Amino acid sequence: MTNSTEFQQVQRIGIIGGSGLQQLPGLEDIRLVEIETAFGQPSSPVTLGTLNGVPVAFVQRHGVGHTIPPASINVRANIAALRHVGCTQLLSVSAVGSLSHDAPPGSFVLIDQFIDRTIQRDKTFFGPGLVGHVPFGNPVCGRMHAVLAKSVKTTDVQALDSGTYVVMEGPQFSTRAESNLYRQWGGTVIGMTAMPEAKLAREAELCYAMIAIPTDFDCWHESHEDVNAALVAQRMADTFTLTRRLVTEAVSRLGKHRGACPCGCDRALDTAVMTAPEHRDPAMVDRLLTVAPNAMHLRSNKD
């Protein structure tokens, strides 16, 4: 891993873009950083720069050229890399299918809840020798979510200020029966990448929020064609200008945040660890501290 000392003087906004944001125009003072984390390599080099004067760090979720399928994304490394360069807030942008008439293609949804249906992914920084359970009832940072809501009004884009993201395993799209089931569950949108991203951000004591961009009506809507990859790509191209405008406005506002998070995101590990201090694996603790550097209280007296 590269020396993190040079990055710690600057608080950055981390941005993870997928199908909905594969590049970040408007960046200045650009620098690419190759990082090897304790959890492996992130999906792409980390792009450092400033957006409207705010320091940011950008990772392409699926890799350069969209080469990494959803279940193979090394989310732990992505989170660790963004932490490494000084990120304290994480803004995620994701293309999704809509499960609701209220979230038509081309609009935006400010996600505040998730239903996790994934089964193949590494979902925690904890493990044998260090057992932890973070609170996750409110998976999105309320302070960040409020900023996104204000940014929507400023940029005058069509958006729902709340929504539930159903995270499917993929890589295939839904069957019609599944799509209708998720609608009955109260899902607003469906996609393949929000988990374990949100869970790992909480374990890393990062504030986290997500902008979801519906590109289609999945396969439940009888009056619209079923989703396919070409349709998703075209719709994302169509909404790119609005996406860029919303992200830029949100970053400008998020960059003003200082001090402790009022929602406690930055203190998520204070009450999370079950393992008694004398039984904690020092190597596991050290590895966790690379993504949650403020959790030094987890070291036992013997360390």
Which residues are annotated as part of the binding site for substrate?
Answer: 192, 216-218
Q: Which residue, among 168, 167, 164, has the nearest Cα to 186 in the 3D structure?
A: 164
Phi, psi of 196 (to 5 degrees): -90, 20
DSSP 82: H
- DSSP 8-state class, residue 279: G
List residues bridging with 116 in a β-sheet: 167
Active site residues: 216, 218
**DSSP reduced 3-state for 15:** strand
Q: Which residues are annotated as a binding site for phosphate?
A: 19, 61-62, 94-95, 193
Cα–Cα distance measured from residue 186 to residue 228, given in angstroms and rounded to the nearest whole number: 23
Q: In whole angstroms, what is the distance from residue 239 CA to residue 76 CA?
A: 29
What size, in residues, is the chain? 303
